């Protein structure tokens, strides 16, 4: 019996990287997983991995920027498993690195629609079910927003909006037994690996500045931490931001 046996978790952006790692970690603690992402083929592969770990899985192709698709995702989850206990909003569209004065409207719109707006839609769609018996929401921020990293204007703006949204939800929804927390990860996602390969000197400098000296593992470091966040072990934590970055961004 895992800590999450009998629970149902929805994970967006679950087809690869951190989303996949979180989905697998939750599954290994017994949760039924509704894995959502745009790429059906990759999503099916992750669903098979989840089932091989012993947990039930449902793969739902979904563009989280589409509000109608998001509500259908939630409906599919309830039809399949009868309940929703955990919502992990990991999906986020990637935008090119640019100086702030060069950020075009389409970059900002992509970051906004796939980030804070998508997170809001998922939370609103899941609220009626989470409020029935309480539950846990984990939203994903970024140290680029916390620190104001250069070249990340559109992305950092979207990620900080998600943190603001999460704090409001923690205050408003606490009375329903819903906890809302934020994770800011530094892990070996496909985009991070691509950055390391394209800019090895910059990647080495980042690792040198990381007190733990390594990039996090998507499942073992990020996924397992999410398991702890949504489990009874941290049932008194809400409205918090957890910096899962090996100490890269130590808040002052």
Residue 149 burial by Cβ neighbours in a 10 Å radius (0-12, 13-18, 19+): middle
Q: What's the maximum distance between 2 C-alpha atoms anywhere in the chain? A: 53
220 is written with which tokens? 């073992």
Q: Considering the domain boundaries, does residue 236 fall inside one? A: yes
**Alpha carbon distance 126, 168 (integer Å):** 16
The three-class DSSP label of residue 208 is: helix
Residue 65 lies in a domain: yes
Residue 30 lies in a domain: yes
- Domain containing residue 113: 8-188+219-242
Residue showing tokens 């704090």:
167
- pLDDT at 190 (0 to 100): 84
- Which strands form 135-140's sheet, in the order they lie side by side? 57-61, 32-37, 8-12, 86-89, 135-140, 178-185, 241-244
**CATH number of the structural domain spanning residue 147:** 3.40.50.720
**pLDDT value at 1 more than 80:** no
Return the percentage of the chain with pLDDT > 90, whole number: 91
Q: Does 137 reside within a domain? A: yes
Check whether 252 has a pLDDT greater than 70: no
pLDDT for the residue 199: 86
Q: Quick: pLDDT tens for 212-236.
A: 999 999 999 999 999 999 999 999 9
**125 found inside a domain:** yes
Q: What is the DSSP string of 70-139?
A: HHHHHHHHHHHHS---EEEE--------B-GGG--HHHHHHHHHHTHHHHHHHHHHHHHHHHHH-EEEEE
Distance CA 149, CA 49 (A): 35
Report pLDDT for 196.
85
Residue keyed to tokens 């039930």? 56
Give CA–CA dist 59/29, Å, rounded.
19
In this structure, is residue 210 part of a structural domain?
A: no
Cβ atoms of 36 and 57 closer than 8 Å: no
129 is catalytic: no
Reply yes or no on whether the pLDDT at 197 is more than 90: no
Asked whether residue 168 is assigned to any structural domain, the reply reads yes
Q: For the segment 25-77, what is each residue's pLDDT rounded down to a tens digit?
A: 999 999 999 999 999 999 999 999 999 999 999 999 999 999 999 999 999 99
State the pLDDT at residue 195: 80
- pLDDT for 101 equals 97
pLDDT at 251 (0 to 100): 66
In-domain check, residue 96: yes
Find the catalytic residue in 81, 127, 152, 155.
155
Report the number of distinct structural domains present in the chain. 1
Model confidence at 144: pLDDT above 90: yes
Q: Is the pLDDT confidence value at 188 over 90? A: no
C-alpha pair distances (Å), 185 with each of 56, 134, 227 = 26, 25, 14
Q: Angle 67-81/116-133 helices, nearest 10 degrees?
A: 30
Residue 74 to residue 213: CA distance in whole angstroms: 39
């Amino acid at each position: 019996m895992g800590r999450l046996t009998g629970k149902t978790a929805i994970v967006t952006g679950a087809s690869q990287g951190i989303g996949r790692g979180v989905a697998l970690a939750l599954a290994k603690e017994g949760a039924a997983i509704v894995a959502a992402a745009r790429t059906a083929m990759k999503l099916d592969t992750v669903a098979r991995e989840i089932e091989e770990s012993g947990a039930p899985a449902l793969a739902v192709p979904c563009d989280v920027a589409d509000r109608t698709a998001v509500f259908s995702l939630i409906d599919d989850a309830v039809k399949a498993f009868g309940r929703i206990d955990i919502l992990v909003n990991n999906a986020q569209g990637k935008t090119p690195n640019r100086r702030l004065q060069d950020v075009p409207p389409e970059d900002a719109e992509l970051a906004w629609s796939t980030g804070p707006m998508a997170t809001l839609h998922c939370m609103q769609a899941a609220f009626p079910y989470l409020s029935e018996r309480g539950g846990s929401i984990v939203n994903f921020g970024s140290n680029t927003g916390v620190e104001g990293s250069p070249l990340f204007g559109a992305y950092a703006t979207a990620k900080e909006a998600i943190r603001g949204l999460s704090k409001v939800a923690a205050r408003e929804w606490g009375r329903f037994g819903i906890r809302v927390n934020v994770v800011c990860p530094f892990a070996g996602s496909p985009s991070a690996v691509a950055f390391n390969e394209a800019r090895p000197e910059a990647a080495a400098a980042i690792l040198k500045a990381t007190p733990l000296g390594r990039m996090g593992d998507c499942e073992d470091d990020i996924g397992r931490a999410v398991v702890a966040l949504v489990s009874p072990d941290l049932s008194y934590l809400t409205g918090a931001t957890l910096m899962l970055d090996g100490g890269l961004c130590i808040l002052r």
